[in-house]
Amino acid sequence: MTKLKGLILAGGLSSRMGQDKAFLKIKDSIQLEYLIKLYETCNLIPAISCREEQLESMKQYAGCITDRYNQIGPLGGVLSAFEKEPETAWLLTACDMPNIKKEDIDRLIEERDPLAKLSCYMTTDGFPEPLFSIWEPGSYEDLIEAYKNNNYSLVRLINKIEAKKIPARSDEIFVNINTPEELNKYS
């Protein structure tokens, strides 16, 4: 089976939050540290997808993959990861998702279909969640094609390619923290 690693997507500008979301303190821990420990508990080697200017502050936590695609969102982080390690499958997690638990990662890995281009959870209303999913090496050509066509939406891409879709236990898994007001609910 293809080697699987964890990729924490931390390269966003965090403009609505006003501070780097990877370093938010949620439920008594720094979010980036929480996700790294979670990956390690699940026997995944963690990597952080980040912008060049974040590299210095993040490299102390785990290996970093500098996003080579500016301001196109998570697609740039995934492409950069595949370009660094093309034979690796990547379990993505957005850095601002505090409700992901070990059992959620374990289930995603257990139900993974390495013959599909990706495996992802589906929300209870039937939408794929790209920011907590496993992208197989076979998805790279589709990702690069989407980039070339200026289609930066991972959700649209998921709906076009072969994907194993897994019903989520709850939509609470997918909560992400984007504003100070949302952070106050979790601090």
DSSP string, 6-64: EEEE--S--TTTTS-GGG-EETTEEHHHHHHHHHHHTT--EEEEE-GGGHHHHTTTSEE
Q: Which pLDDT value is given to residue 23? A: 75
Query: What separation in angstroms does the CA of 62 have from each of 13, 46, 47, 96?
Result: 20, 6, 6, 17
pLDDT tens digits, one per residue of 13-64: 666 766 667 877 887 888 999 999 999 999 999 999 998 888 788 888 888 9
What CATH number should be reported for the domain whose range is 4-171? Answer: 3.90.550.10
Rg over alpha carbons for the chain, rounded to the nearest Å, is 15
Instruction: Report which secondary-structure segment, H or E, holds 108.
Output: helix 102-110
**Mean pLDDT, residues 126-150 taken together:** 96
- For the chain, the structural domain boundaries read 4-171
- Report yes or no on whether pTM surpasses 0.75: yes
**In angstroms, rounded to a whole number, what is the distance separating the alpha carbons of residues 90 and 106?**
14
The pLDDT assigned to 15 comes to 62
Tens of pLDDT, residue by residue over 157-171, are 999 999 999 999 999
Q: Residue 74's closest CA among 52, 98, 93, 46?
A: 93
Residues 6+ apart with CB under 8 A from 8: 22, 32, 35, 36, 39, 46, 47, 48, 49, 62, 93, 94, 95
- Are the C-beta atoms of 8 and 25 separated by less than 8 Å? no
